[in-house]
């Protein structure tokens, strides 16, 4: 395992009366991919902006590439800024510039010298598959290609720390997969430490460590596989014969003894239960006029764990076994 690139202790940020981040403890090492996962307003963007040195914390501190960030300021990070790649949320490139022009512009911003910059840009165009579109304005790219361009711009200086703010939001599933393939290839080539913010719970399995956030609070920290152990009980998936009946099924099962949570997942339900068996669920549904339901046990998803922790623990922090985060 590589050396620690980011260490935070009780990192907090307030904006007036709004507590955007309420205590973040991380220890991110070289070569690791950490996912900051949660809905809008969870504190993901605030955490990344703090680590990028865009503003100081209100309380707590962070050590980023050896530079200390405290409530007194983030000036110490200036000497390490060229070692950080930051891809902000939303439009991160200039639409009226071509792909190549964007890369040259950001190369100059990062202080990459001219001979090295051209060589690096040529490599990144091939690495991201953007070479055929080098002369195309960024505004004329698809969403997935714009995200690839944003990634290319952020890794131009060959950073040791890469901060990615919702890079896969708003793109199709194939483009999301392409982006993650690039990220894995980048890790194999350079081994940067990566923090990626995402609202997509299914992306948790792609990370080495995840932080589940809600309203600025940390709900859980640890490797994705270990967080399943935080779920009290098991997950039963319920599918009904007709999609519209799922709401009736939820109403029936939410009040069934032994059912702790009943959450909608598209056209099916996930029940968090302890002792209750599949046959008992089917019998309850049949008694309510829903005899053809399919009930089976499934592994808990990250979203199951998130919803369970949110309902059960509020702002208590849980750590999965094997977490490398600080206690």
Q: Is the dihedral of CA 143, 146, 152, 153 positive or negative?
A: negative
Asked if the model's pLDDT at residue 3 lies above 50, the reply is yes
pLDDT of residue 266: 86
| pLDDT tens per residue, range 110-158 | 989 888 999 999 999 999 999 999 999 999 999 999 999 999 999 999 9
Superfamily name with CATH number, domain 4-227+315-319 = P-loop containing nucleotide triphosphate hydrolases (3.40.50.300)
Q: What is the value of pTM for the model shown?
A: 0.88
Domain boundaries, the chain: 4-227+315-319, 232-299
Of 324 and 263, the one with more pLDDT: 263
Asked if the model's pLDDT at residue 304 lies above 70, the reply is yes
User: Edge-to-edge, what's the strand order for the sheet holding 318-319?
Assistant: 84-87, 161-165, 193-198, 33-37, 209-214, 217-222, 318-319
- The CA-to-CA distance between both ends of the chain, in Å, stands at 19
| pLDDT tens per residue, range 223-252 | 998 998 888 899 999 999 887 899 999 999
Mean pLDDT confidence for 158-172: 94
Of 211 and 92, the one with more pLDDT: 211
pLDDT of residue 314: 46
Asked if the model's pLDDT at residue 222 lies above 90, the reply is yes
Q: How confident is the model at residue 323 (pLDDT cuts 50, 70, 90)?
A: very low
pLDDT of residue 251: 95
Asked if the model's pLDDT at residue 317 lies above 60, the reply is no
Pairing relationship of beta strands 18-29 and 4-15 according to DSSP bridges: antiparallel
Task: Indicate the average pLDDT of the chain.
Answer: 91
Asked if the model's pLDDT at residue 318 lies above 80, the reply is no
Q: Which residues of 48-81 are buried (b: 16+ CB within 10 A; e: fewer)?
A: bbbbbbeebbeebbbbbbebebeeeebebbeebb
Of 128 and 316, the one with more pLDDT: 128
Asked if the model's pLDDT at residue 35 lies above 50, the reply is yes
Measured distance CA(76)–CA(58) in Å, rounded: 16
Measured distance CA(19)–CA(24) in Å, rounded: 12
| pLDDT tens per residue, range 181-205 | 999 999 998 899 999 999 999 899 9
- As beta bridge partners, residue 268 has 265
Measured distance CA(25)–CA(57) in Å, rounded: 13
pLDDT of residue 322: 43
Judged by DSSP in three states, 245 sits in helix
Mean pLDDT confidence for 53-57: 94
Measured distance CA(22)–CA(63) in Å, rounded: 18
| Percentage of residues in the chain having pLDDT higher than 90 | 78
pLDDT of residue 171: 87
| Percentage of residues in the chain having pLDDT higher than 70 | 95
Cβ-contact 78, 125 below 8 angstroms:
no
Q: How is residue 147 written in tokens?
A: 């995200």
pLDDT of residue 128: 96
For the domain made up of 232-299, give the CATH fold. Alpha-Beta Plaits (3.30.70)
Of 81 and 106, the one with more pLDDT: 106
Q: How confident is the model at residue 170 (pLDDT cuts 50, 70, 90)?
A: confident
């Amino acid at each position: 395992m590589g050396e620690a690139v980011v260490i935070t202790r009780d990192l907090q940020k307030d904006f007036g009366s709004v507590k955007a981040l309420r205590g973040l403890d991380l220890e991110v090492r070289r070569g690791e991919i950490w996912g900051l996962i949660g809905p809008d307003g969870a504190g993901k963007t605030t955490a990344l902006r703090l680590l990028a040195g865009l503003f100081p914390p209100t309380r707590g501190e962070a050590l980023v590439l050896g530079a200390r960030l405290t409530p007194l300021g983030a000036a110490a990070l200036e000497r390490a800024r060229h070692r950080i790649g930051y891809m902000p949320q939303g439009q991160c490139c200039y639409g009226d510039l071509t792909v190549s022009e964007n890369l040259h512009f950001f190369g100059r911003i990062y202080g990459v010298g001219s001979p090295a910059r051209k060589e690096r840009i040529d490599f990144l165009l091939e690495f991201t598959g953007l070479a055929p579109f080098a002369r195309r304005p960024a505004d004329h790219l698809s969403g997935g290609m714009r995200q690839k361009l944003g990634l290319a711009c952020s890794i131009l200086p060959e950073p040791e720390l890469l901060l990615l703010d919702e890079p896969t939001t708003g793109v199709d599933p194939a483009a999301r997969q392409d982006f993650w393939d690039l990220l894995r290839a980048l890790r194999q080539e350079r081994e940067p430490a990566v923090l990626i913010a995402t609202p997509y719970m299914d992306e948790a399995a792609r990370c080495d460590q995840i932080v589940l956030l809600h309203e600025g609070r940390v709900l859980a920290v640890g490797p994705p596989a270990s967080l399943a152990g935080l779920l009290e009980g098991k997950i039963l998936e319920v599918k009904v014969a007709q999609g519209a009946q799922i709401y009736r099924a939820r109403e029936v099962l939410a009040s069934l003894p032994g059912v702790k949570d009943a959450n909608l997942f598209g056209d099916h339900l996930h029940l968090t239960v302890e002792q209750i068996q599949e046959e008992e669920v089917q019998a309850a549904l049949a008694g309510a006029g829903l005899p053809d339901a399919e009930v089976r046990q499934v592994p808990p998803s990250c979203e199951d764990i998130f919803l369970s922790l949110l309902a059960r623990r509020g702002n208590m922090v849980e750590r999965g076994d094997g977490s490398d985060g600080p206690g």
